[in-house]
Amino acid sequence: MIYETHTHFDDKAFDIDRDEAIREAMAAGVTRFVNVGASLEGSIRSMELADKYPEFLAAVGVHPEECASLSEADIGLLEEYAERENVVAIGEIGLDYYWDKPERDIQKKWFAAQIALARKVKLPVIIHSREAAQDTYDILKAEKADETGGILHCFSYGCEMAKQFLDMGFYIGVGGVVTFKNAKKLKEVVGYLPLDRIVTETDSPYMAPVPMRGKRNTSAYLPYIVKQIADIKGVSVEEVEKVTYDNAVRLFGK
Ligand SMILES: [Zn+2]
């Protein structure tokens, strides 16, 4: 049993074979999926998937790259969505200074607003943070995200930053990058993290693990990620599956 904490099966990359791809992932041993919204439309599509499949849960939120046109009314909409039974997190939200668009002040404003929403509706947050470690940490701290908890998804920082987020009560999302030969830093971080603070994810359709690197990613490839974590930690695949599954259940409540 593998828990997929971050997938985008609503993405247009799955328009041709969505149901089949989901069935394949289930056949590969994935029994629970959090489909993560990256925009308002993506949040709606995530809820639709959660309505259709009992194995699916939804996260609703707006990704930093999509936040330029957000309004207070949109935050109100997210609040309505968040009240639904199968919505388990606010995300993905955060800061992306790699693409660096829209401008940082706008990203920060809507990141903070969505953390405040998470606190209000008492849901954890799923964080996208790229080349923005310190600002991410500072805003989470200022907005009291230690009260919501959540996941630093697709973690790309070092052990020192990881420790700070662990101290705030967060889980670290580990995906396909951990299988890349040149992913020295992430392998080190996985070695450092206690297993009971790691959650597994693909971020599909992006970031396919080795040996599928470069292809469309899907949750069916989660076993490659689990295997790599098991190798780094020197424990069995079953142990990684069980502990990371329990971690996700503890965080999302189901
Ligand atoms: Zn994502």
Bridge partner list, 30: 2
Domains and CATH numbers, the chain: 2-252 (3.20.20.140)
Residue 28 to residue 3: CA distance in whole angstroms: 11
DSSP string, 114-156: HHHHHHHHT--EEEEEES-HHHHHHHHHHTTGGGT-EEEET--
What's the sign of the alpha-carbon dihedral 131, 132, 134, 140? negative
Closest CA relative to residue 110, chosen from 139, 145, 153: 139
Return per-residue pLDDT of the chain as tens, 254 residues: 999 999 999 999 999 999 999 999 999 999 999 999 999 999 999 999 999 999 999 999 999 999 999 999 999 999 999 999 999 999 999 999 999 999 999 999 999 999 999 999 999 999 999 999 999 999 999 999 999 999 999 999 999 999 999 999 999 999 999 999 999 999 999 999 999 999 999 999 999 999 999 999 999 999 999 999 999 999 999 999 999 999 999 999 99
pLDDT at 15: 98
Question: In this predicted structure, what is the pLDDT of residue 50?
Answer: 98
Alpha carbon of 7 to ligand 1 centroid (Å): 6
* Dihedral sign from CA coordinates of 30, 32, 38, 39: positive
Task: Give me the pLDDT at residue 238, please.
Answer: 98
Question: From CA 234, how far away is CA 149, in angstroms rounded?
Answer: 28
Distance 91 CA to ligand 1 centre (A): 9
CA of 111 to the centre of ligand 1 (A): 15
Q: How far is the CA of 37 from the centre of ligand 1 (A)?
A: 8
pTM over 0.85: yes
Q: How far is the CA of 38 from the centre of ligand 1 (A)?
A: 7
Give residue 206 CA to ligand 1 midpoint distance, Å. 8
The alpha carbon of 92 and the centre of ligand 1 are apart by a number of angstroms equal to 7
